[in-house]
Amino acid sequence: MFALILLLVASQAPAVPGETSLVSSCKQGMASACAALRQIEPKKAAEAERAFQVWKIAEEAREQQESRVEPEALPSAPEPPDCKGQDHHIISRPIARQLERHASLRGLYKARDSRFVTRAKDEKSHCGYQTWHREVDEEVIEWLIRFPKATRKEFEQFLRDIYSRSEMRARFPNGF
């Protein structure tokens, strides 16, 4: 989280003295300015476009943080009354929302995708949307933001790596 805040602050620096308005406009995401700058100074255009992309990713992450509602705080989302170890959907709704924004993975996955389900060992391991579950979702979402060009193979390997960790294997002995 700190890294995203730092990224946001660093990417919103004002124009550097001596920087042309064309560079500044491109950093603000103006496509016509970027196109014109690419004609004149391709290297500066690439740097300005990267700066805009960094800002855009940080802004999306900030908006996502602001709009996040903790399910535990909602009276309509209690723990299931007779939970004995649930099926765990690896592609949760928050992850699915981020996947729909992802440049290369959009449309490949859906929330609670039946291809990505594992069974919890017992009630303590998984019952509702517990803290560990939210932390894993956040880790996956941050990874998706950091790797906007990730392939399906890379994403699924990242998920397998998470579910291979000892604390996750203790919850889900069958892994993913």
pTM of the complete model beyond 0.85:
no
Q: Give the range with max mean pLDDT: 3-7, 23-27, 36-40, 106-110.
A: 106-110
Instruction: Say if residue 58 is exposed, middle or buried (CB neighbours under 10 Å; 0-12, 13-18, 19+).
Output: buried
User: What is the 3-class SS of 79-137, one letter each residue?
Assistant: CCCCCCCCEEECCCHHHHHHHHHCCCCCCCCCCCCCCCEEECCCCCCCCCCCHHHHHHH
Residue 149 has pLDDT above 60, yes or no: yes
The pLDDT score that the predictor gives to residue 14 is 46
